[in-house]
Amino acid sequence: MKSVAIITKKFKPDALEAGRALKTWLEGRGVKACHFENEPEPLIPPLPDDVEFIVVMGGDGTILSVARHFGERGVPIFGVNLGGLGFLTEISLAELYPCMAEHVLTGKFEVEERLMLTVTLFRHGQVAWQEFVLNDAVINKGALARITEMTTWIDGEYLTVYRADGLILATPTGSTAYNLSAGGPIVYPTLHHLILLPICSHTLSNRPIILPDTVTVAVTLDEKVQDVYLTLDGQVGQAMEPGDRVEIRRAPYHLKLVKSPHRSHFEILRTKLGWGELGVCK
């Protein structure tokens, strides 16, 4: 390991202090280290070309931002949580230095490849906006807007018209985010699937669908729609107009996320969701 980038959450003094301390620690071991604060969207600092590893210090939201901007570089991303345990930032600050010394600098760390999506907004047949996302793409209405009608296709084949408050298209990583709050399933994060979930559908038979990640999902708004938004990872978004079309497909790369050497995905689920210990079966 020759070059490491440290990205810390903006306006978080403890993250800034921890990032500076890690930079000093790495340089003391002969590793080139650069330290950046994660600027508000879209002012993300560029990274040097020789960076081989990224340490993100903050929370899951900081990881999502870094993933969208630097995931395509194929550099492993290592999430350090400075508060409670996160679904993406699995390493605590107390575990950071032993993990860096024993696993990262020795190259003995394990990487999970997480599905990312390409989301494209078309307006009048032209690309109006395109972004990569790690968690989800959400089409939803404003607080006082009428029910949204969203015509949906899978690989060009008509599926249905969803009449609902909105629509979520989530990755397995994003299954524990908005999808979970809206009643969707938890999907193991390394599976190759998409989750299509209507939000408060007015047709009770409209249920979540799990799709292969090889498909393209297209959603078109009707001509009467008002006050509808496309939001990506809960962080960036665009107001939508009548007739807009959104296409969502697998991104041309996967995010490389460093696994915690201390806990499994199921332990994280138990901790974050407050699940009790499994009793002994008789």
Q: Is the pLDDT of residue 82 over 70?
A: yes
For residues 175, 133, 193, 173, the Cα torsion angle rounded to the nearest 10 degrees is: -40
Cβ-contact 229, 139 below 8 angstroms: yes
Q: Is the pLDDT of residue 143 over 90?
A: no
Cβ-contact 90, 271 below 8 angstroms: no
> Whole-angstrom Cα distance, residue 150 to residue 148?
6
Cβ-contact 204, 220 below 8 angstroms: no
Q: Is the pTM of this model over 0.75?
A: yes
Q: What is the CATH number of domain 116-252?
A: 2.60.200.30
Pairing of strands 53-58, 3-9: parallel
Name the CATH architecture for the domain at 3-110+259-273. 3-Layer(aba) Sandwich (3.40)
Map tokens 């020759």 to a residue: 2
pLDDT of residue 223: 78
Residue 40 pLDDT grade (very low, low, confident, very high; cuts 50, 70, 90): low
Residue 277 pLDDT grade (very low, low, confident, very high; cuts 50, 70, 90): low
* Higher pLDDT pick, 269 / 172: 172
Domain ranges of the chain: 3-110+259-273, 116-252
60 has catalytic annotation? yes
Map tokens 């900081």 to a residue: 62
Catalytic residue among 14, 49, 50, 60: 60
> Whole-angstrom Cα distance, residue 243 to residue 220?
6
Q: Is the pLDDT of residue 213 over 60?
A: yes
> Whole-angstrom Cα distance, residue 184 to residue 208?
7
> Whole-angstrom Cα distance, residue 175 to residue 189?
8
Q: What percent of the chain has pLDDT over 90?
A: 66
Q: What percent of the chain has pLDDT over 70?
A: 94
Q: Is the pLDDT of residue 41 over 50?
A: yes
Least confident of 42-56, 123-137, 222-236, 238-252: 42-56
Cβ-contact 120, 89 below 8 angstroms: no
pLDDT of residue 85: 64
Residue 59 pLDDT grade (very low, low, confident, very high; cuts 50, 70, 90): confident
Dihedral over Cα of 245, 246, 250, 255: its sign: positive
